[in-house]
Structure formats: structure tokens, C-alpha cells
Amino acid sequence: MTTANPSLIKLEGVTKVFLTDEVETHALSGIHMDIRKGEYVSIAGPSGCGKSTLLSILGLLDTPTEGRYWLNNRAVEELSLADRARTRNREIGFIFQ
């Protein structure tokens, strides 16, 4: 990360697996992303490819099965549930589809 324009959102190897009694669904596999201040990002793809899962993780509504997520240089896995809720309220704009 550079000091001139640090990452706002950074993902390293983010994976999300949903487990049921019979099925293991890999919604995300090894996602790497680095979004900096001033950048615009679009997430597009066919139905079922993991867009909503990714947005749920970015919006602090869900957690990855594996990998690391930093938001404003803070490791998300270190945030308590209360800190996640406060961050979601103050720092994240989210419009559901």
C-alpha cells in the first residue's frame, strides 16, 4: 500500500464457501482486489457468480471463509460485531438490488 493513495478496500485471497448437509458451494474463490480513493468499480456477471456474496462481505454483512479484508487500513476480522455495525453505519453506502 502506498501512503500517497492508500487502499480503501483491499482483499487478499478471499474465499466464501457455503455448507449444507449435502452440498458445498464455492461462491467466491481467491478474490484479490485493491480499491483506492477516487476509483470507480463495477461488479458485473451472470446470475449465481458471487456478486451478492462479494457485496455482502464488502458491506460487513458476512465474513469470508478464507482470506483477508482490510477497510480503510483496518483488518476487518479484528472488528467486533459492534464495530462492524458502527462502520457499516458511518462508512459504507449500500443499496440492495
* CATH architecture of the region 7-91: 3-Layer(aba) Sandwich (3.40)
From first to last of its 97 residues, what are the pLDDT tens digits of the chain?
A: 445 788 999 999 999 999 988 899 999 999 999 999 999 888 999 998 999 999 999 999 999 999 999 999 999 999 999 999 999 999 888 776 6
* DSSP per position, the chain: --SSS-EEEEEEEEEEEEE-SS-EEEEEEEEEEEEETT-------STTSSHHHHHHHHTTSS--SEEEEEETTEEGGGS-HHHHHHHHHHH------
- pTM for this predicted structure: 0.86
Residues 6+ apart with CB under 8 A from 41: 33, 35
* Per-domain boundaries in the chain: 7-91
